Structure formats: structure tokens, C-alpha cells
Amino acid sequence: MAERRLARLWYRGWPMAALCVLASTVWLVTDAWPQAGSTLGSGMAGCLIAAAVCIGVALRRGLEDASKLAGPALGGALLLGGPAVGMLLGVGFLDAGSMAIALALTPVVVVVAESVGGAEELTGEGLWPGLAACCGLLLMLPAPSLTDWRNDVALLLAPVLTGVGCVVFRRSGLGVSVAWKVSAGLAGGGVVFGLGVLAESLSRRGWSVISPAATGIDAVLSLLAVVALGRLTAAQYSAKYVLVPLAVLLEGVLLLHSVPTWRSVACGILLAVAGVVLLRRVDSASAVSP
């Protein structure tokens, strides 16, 4: 019984673990090779390549009712497009720290969205992990600047779109095989990034170069994100936006030899506690194993 439980835990958890590790270490690659940084073009290509791979797997199991894939496609579009909303809106510069603080509120949005859908009751117990994570990051990072309305809109939309996307993806596509559901989510993300590329090309009157390295990274991150969400609850998946900053904080101490302060220690404790609480949360519609 214990071995079966551990096997199930590993099966459900390894995509999330791999996603957090990769997302928290990408900065090591982009620091050495700036061309590996994500762009709208690499996001589009990465999503579509990952979707093509999943569709190839899904076709072996037969076709599905296309009408049931609209929900997962919308959820995937919001999930993958939410963190990149600054690029999609054409915001020239959006501080990574400010975006991390904004995305830390994703668990709060997830709880509110689930309560609106009638799946869960809205309680303070459900809200506090995201708020605690946000407070922890504010101890370490400068407060977001509210001088540019475009930045403000992007920071507001990022957690809202991402959190709603988590709930929509988890609650839709019932009766659809996981391979097709993942394919639809990735395709939805590819369409959103494609629209962003089109808008960018029209404004600049030219097509930007797509880096193969950035495309590969985005493809793996997108695939892991959708697969992880398919195996976890929306609240559990939202722990990503708490655990990734925690991992980056630890990397700063271990790799950059930064000296811990009371602020960094308090931030780490708040992020760790919030992450554990979110990962332990199971709703009434428990994650369906692929």
C-alpha cells in the first residue's frame, strides 16, 4: 500500500517538480546566452511544437469530440498567456520582481474563481497562502511601480488570467483523454502567442528572429506546465508561483553566496509555508491521473 501511494505521488508530482526546477534555473542560461530569453515568437513556436508532439501521441488513441476541447484550449491560453501578458500587451519593460510579486497572488485568484464556480467555499484559510507569499516577496523585492498604466494593467491581469486559466483547464474537458486535453491547452497557448507575434510584426513592420534555444526552453516549460496542471488540483499547481521564487532565493545563497538577512529568512519561511499548504490542498474534484 505504501509503495503504491509513493508511486502515485511520484506520478502526479514529477512534472511539477521538474517545472519548478527548470523555471527557477532558466536565469542561469539566459545570463550566459541572452538570446535564449523567451519572446512571443519562441513562446508560439514552443507551444505549437509541444502541441504537435502531444497530438501525435493522442492520435494513437483515436479522435475526440472537438467541442469538448474548447474549454481546455481556453484554459491553456489563459494559463500560458497570463505570465507573458506584458509581452502580449507590448509593454516595453516590466520588472521581473514586480511580475513575481503579482503572480504570487495567483493562488488567491484560484480560490476566488473556484468559489464563483461553486466548487469550493471562499474562506480566509484558502486566501492566506497567496497573501503570505506576496508579503514575503515584498520583504525582499521593491514594491511594483505604479507610474505606468500599461505596467499596472499587466501586473493586474497576470495573476487573474493565470488563476482563471488554472480553474478553467481543470474543470473543462470532462470525458476527454488527457493527451487530447494537454494538446488543446498547448494549442490554445500557441494561438495566443501567435496573435501577439502578429500584432508585434504589424507594429514593427517586420518579423522578429526566433531563437532555437528559447524555443526549446519554452516548449519544455509549456509542456510541463500543462501536464502538471492536468495531474494536480488548480490550487496545488498555483504553488508553482510560490516555489519558484523560493528556489531562486535559495540559489542566490548557494550559487551567488549572498549573505542571508532577516528579510531573506522571513521571506523564505513565508514562501515555504505557503507552498506546503498549497501542495497539500485537495478539492472536491481531485486531480485526475492521466
Tell me the C-alpha distance between 86 and 193, whole Å. Answer: 12
500587451: which residue's cell?
A: 89
Which pLDDT tens digits describe the chain residue by residue (290 residues)? 777 888 888 888 999 999 999 999 998 888 888 888 899 999 999 999 999 999 988 888 776 667 788 999 999 999 999 999 999 988 867 888 999 999 999 999 999 998 886 656 666 667 889 999 999 999 999 888 777 888 889 999 999 999 999 999 999 888 888 889 999 999 999 999 999 999 888 877 666 778 899 999 999 999 999 999 999 999 999 999 999 999 999 998 888 888 889 999 999 999 999 999 999 876 544 444 34
**CB 42 within 8 Å of CB 210:** yes
**CB 235 within 8 Å of CB 283:** yes
**CB 213 within 8 Å of CB 36:** yes
Tell me the C-alpha distance between 73 and 195, whole Å. Answer: 15
Tell me the C-alpha distance between 63 and 80, whole Å. Answer: 24
Q: Which helix (H) or strand (E) holds 121?
A: none
What global pTM score does this model have? 0.91
Tell me the C-alpha distance between 62 and 30, whole Å. Answer: 40
CA atoms within 13 A on the CB side of 212: 0
Neighbours of 22 (CB within 10 A): 15
Q: Which of 19, 39, 83 is nearest to 194 (CA)?
A: 39
What is 6-49 written as a DSSP string? HHHHHHHHHHHHHHHHHHHHHHHHHHH-GGGS--HHHHHHHHHH
Rounded to 10 degrees, the C-alpha dihedral 14/240/281/179 comes to: -50
